[in-house]
Structure 1
């Protein structure tokens, strides 16, 4: 299985998925067509062979339609029986309680995924 890398744009996050099981989504997520943007990500994840997955999510902004696709994606990993262990590292800015709440809300709908919430300071200020 090949790694998947999609460079970020002003409206889409960087996707860096390694076949070893380390998956990363970083940046802003407000694509014009979230289903089209996230489609290859779902397809790649359906074929993952790694027994353990470490998913890092560090999003600055997510629009409503993207948030639905991100939730569906995380749930698809949670339901994938080929994966034996899933760790979700949810990064949120110190002054963004809404992003923390979004991560906590997702955790409530997961059965097997262990979540960690990691606060960070925005370095661009």
Structure 2
């Protein structure tokens, strides 16, 4: 069975983007909770952050599209695991929130899913 590996990460973290079959960049088109002082030191482990990110116009359709792309990869003739990378600036807010929503959608579709929030516990980036 194909396993879907989802990694959330921060583009501006030292490690940069991980290797992946599909990589999604949330930096430009979706508002950053980091810019709100009351959210800066929170992460996607805080429900208010997740709610804020997932209420952003365009996020849910984007995640549904990513799930569709994963399904297309999985239906190919080679049975291989699929890696999806989702990045925002620091990897603490948008990327892990989207990664969790994507994981839930893919699990509901019957895929085995593993999620890694690579940068969620790194220090807050100063900008």
Q: What is the TM-score when the length of structure 2 is the normalising length?
A: 0.40
Instruction: Report which of the two has the higher share of strand.
Output: 1
Q: Could you say which structure has the greater relative contact order, defined with CA pairs below 8 angstroms and 6 or more residues apart? A: 2
